[in-house]
A and B are shown apart, each in its own frame.
Chain A
Amino acid sequence: MNAQQLKNSILQEAIEGRLVPQDPSDEPASVLLEKIRAEKKRLVKEGKLKKKDLEETPISEEEKPFEIPESWEWVRFGTITINRDKERIPLSVNERSKLEKKYDYYGASGIIDKVDRYLFDKPLLLIGEDGANLVNRSTPIAFIAKGEYWVNNHAHVLDYYHEDLMQYMCWYINGISLVNYVTGTAQPKMNQEKMNSILVALPPLAEQHRIVAKIEKLLPKVEEYGKAQEALDKLNSELPERLKKSILQEAITGRLVPQDPNDEPASVLLDKIRQEKKKLVKEGKLKKKDLEETPISEEKKPFDIPESWVWCRFGNIVKTYTGKTPERGNADYWNKEGLPWVSISDMRQGETIMTTKEHISAKAAQKCFGNQISLKGSLIMSFKLTVGRTSVLGIDAYHNEAIITINTMSDPFKYTRNYFLHILPVIANWGDTKDAIKGKTLNSKSIYNLLIPLPPYKEQRRIVAKLEQLLTEIDKLKA
Chain B
Amino acid sequence: MAVGNLVKRLQDIMRKDAGINGDAQRIEQMVWMFFLKVYDAAEEDWELDAMDKGETFKSIIPDPLRWRNWAPSRDEEGRLKSDFLTVQALLDFINDKLFRVLKGEDATDGSIKGIQVTRDTARHQAVVRDVFQEVNQYMKNGVLLRQMIDEIDAVDLLDSAESHAFGDMYETLLKDLQAAGNAGEFYTPRPLTDFTVQHLDPRLGETMGDLAAGTGGFIISTLRYLEPQKKTANDEELFQRSVMGQEWKPFPYLLGVTNIMLHGIKDPMLFHMDSLGKNMSEYQEDGKLDTIAMNPPYGGATDSATKMNFKQEYRSSETADLFMVLIMQRLARGGRAGVVVPDGFLFGTDGAKLAIKKRLLTDFNLHTVIRLPGSVFAPYTSIATNILFFNNERAEGAPEGYATASTWFYRMDMPEGYKHFNKTHPILNSHFEVVNAWWADRQVLEEGEKSRSFTPQELMDMGCNLDQCKFPKEEEIVLRPEELLRQYHEERTALDAKIDAQLEEIEHLLGFKIKEA
Residues of A within 8 A of B (CB): 6, 10, 13, 19, 214, 216-225, 227-229, 231-232, 235-236, 239, 242-243, 245-247, 249-250, 255, 433
CA distance A394 to B32 in the complex (A): 69
- In the assembled complex, the CB of B488 is this many whole angstroms from the nearest CB of chain A, namely 6
With most chain B CB atoms within 10 A of its CB, the pick from A219, A220, A229, A245 is A220
Residues of B within 8 A of A218 (CB): 506, 509-510
Determine whether the beta carbon of A232 is less than 8 Å from that of B495. Answer: yes
- In the assembled complex, the CB of A313 is this many whole angstroms from the nearest CB of chain B, namely 24
Residues of B within 8 A of A235 (CB): 488, 491-492, 495
A-facing residues in B482-514 (Cβ within 8 Å): 484-485, 488, 491-492, 495-496, 498-499, 502-503, 505-506, 509-510
Determine whether the beta carbon of A232 is less than 8 Å from that of B499. Answer: yes
Residues of B within 8 A of A231 (CB): 495
Query: What are 6 A-B residue pairs whose CB atoms fall within 8 Å in the complex?
Result: A224-B301, A231-B495, A232-B495, A235-B488, A235-B491, A245-B478
Q: Which stretch in B234-242, B302-310, B324-332, B429-437 binds the other chain?
A: B302-310
- In the assembled complex, the CB of A340 is this many whole angstroms from the nearest CB of chain B, namely 36
CA distance A225 to B299 in the complex (A): 11
Determine whether the beta carbon of B506 is less than 8 Å from that of A232. Answer: no
Residues of B within 8 A of A220 (CB): 300-303
Look across to chain A and name the residue whose beta carbon is closest to the beta carbon of B305: A216
Which listed residue (B299, B304, B480, B488) contacts A216, Cβ 8 A? B304
CA distance A243 to B499 in the complex (A): 24
Residues of B within 8 A of A239 (CB): 488
Interface of A (DSSP majority class): helix
Query: How many residues of B sit at the interface, in one of the four size bands?
Result: 20 to 34
Residues of B within 8 A of A (CB): 299-305, 475, 478-481, 484-485, 488, 491-492, 495-496, 498-499, 502-503, 505-506, 509-510
Residues of A within 8 A of B305 (CB): 216
Determine whether the beta carbon of A214 is less than 8 Å from that of B509. Answer: yes
- In the assembled complex, the CB of A244 is this many whole angstroms from the nearest CB of chain B, namely 10
Which listed residue (A19, A225, A250, A255) contacts B502, Cβ 8 A? A225
CA distance A223 to B318 in the complex (A): 12
CA distance A250 to B484 in the complex (A): 12
Determine whether the beta carbon of B509 is less than 8 Å from that of A217. Answer: yes
Residues of A within 8 A of B304 (CB): 216
Once A and B bind, how many residue pairs between them come within 8 Å at the CB atom? 71
Residues of B within 8 A of A217 (CB): 303, 509
Known: A232-B499, A242-B484, A243-B484. 8 other contacts (CB 8 A): A214-B509, A217-B509, A219-B301, A221-B502, A228-B495, A232-B496, A235-B491, A239-B488
- In the assembled complex, the CB of B313 is this many whole angstroms from the nearest CB of chain A, namely 13
Chain A to chain B: the 8 pairs with minimum beta-carbon distance, closest first: A225-B502, A220-B301, A232-B495, A228-B498, A216-B303, A223-B301, A246-B481, A228-B499
Residues of B within 8 A of A229 (CB): 499
Look across to chain B and name the residue whose beta carbon is closest to the beta carbon of A222: B506
Determine whether the beta carbon of A246 is less than 8 Å from that of B502. Answer: no
Determine whether the beta carbon of B481 is less than 8 Å from that of A247. Answer: yes
Residues of B within 8 A of A255 (CB): 480
Look across to chain B and name the residue whose beta carbon is closest to the beta carbon of A20: B511
CA distance A460 to B478 in the complex (A): 22
- In the assembled complex, the CB of A215 is this many whole angstroms from the nearest CB of chain B, namely 9
Determine whether the beta carbon of A224 is less than 8 Å from that of B303. Answer: no
Residues of A within 8 A of B302 (CB): 220
Determine whether the beta carbon of B301 is less than 8 Å from that of A246. Answer: no
Residues of A within 8 A of B499 (CB): 225, 228-229, 232
Determine whether the beta carbon of A246 is less than 8 Å from that of B479. Answer: yes
CA distance A13 to B506 in the complex (A): 13
Determine whether the beta carbon of B481 is less than 8 Å from that of A243. Answer: yes
Residues of A within 8 A of B496 (CB): 232
If A214-B509, A217-B303 touch, whether A250 touches B481 (CB-CB below 8 Å) is yes
If A216-B304, A232-B499, A235-B495 touch, whether A225 touches B506 (CB-CB below 8 Å) is yes
- In the assembled complex, the CB of A98 is this many whole angstroms from the nearest CB of chain B, namely 24
CA distance A280 to B289 in the complex (A): 87
CA distance A225 to B304 in the complex (A): 19
CA distance A107 to B126 in the complex (A): 51
Look across to chain B and name the residue whose beta carbon is closest to the beta carbon of A216: B303
Determine whether the beta carbon of A221 is less than 8 Å from that of B492. Answer: no
Residues of A within 8 A of B491 (CB): 235
Determine whether the beta carbon of A221 is less than 8 Å from that of B505. Answer: yes
CA distance A232 to B304 in the complex (A): 28
Which listed residue (A10, A242, A245) contacts B510, Cβ 8 A? A10
- In the assembled complex, the CB of B312 is this many whole angstroms from the nearest CB of chain A, namely 9
If A232-B495, A239-B488, A242-B484 touch, whether A221 touches B509 (CB-CB below 8 Å) is yes
- In the assembled complex, the CB of B91 is this many whole angstroms from the nearest CB of chain A, namely 34
Determine whether the beta carbon of A249 is less than 8 Å from that of B301. Answer: no
Which listed residue (B478, B505, B510) contacts A19, Cβ 8 A? B510
CA distance A236 to B495 in the complex (A): 11
Determine whether the beta carbon of B303 is less than 8 Å from that of A228. Answer: no
CA distance A213 to B492 in the complex (A): 33
Residues of B within 8 A of A214 (CB): 509
Residues of A within 8 A of B300 (CB): 220, 224
- In the assembled complex, the CB of A333 is this many whole angstroms from the nearest CB of chain B, namely 43
- In the assembled complex, the CB of A178 is this many whole angstroms from the nearest CB of chain B, namely 23
CA distance A79 to B480 in the complex (A): 67
Determine whether the beta carbon of B503 is less than 8 Å from that of A225. Answer: yes
Which listed residue (A10, A225, A250) contacts B480, Cβ 8 A? A250
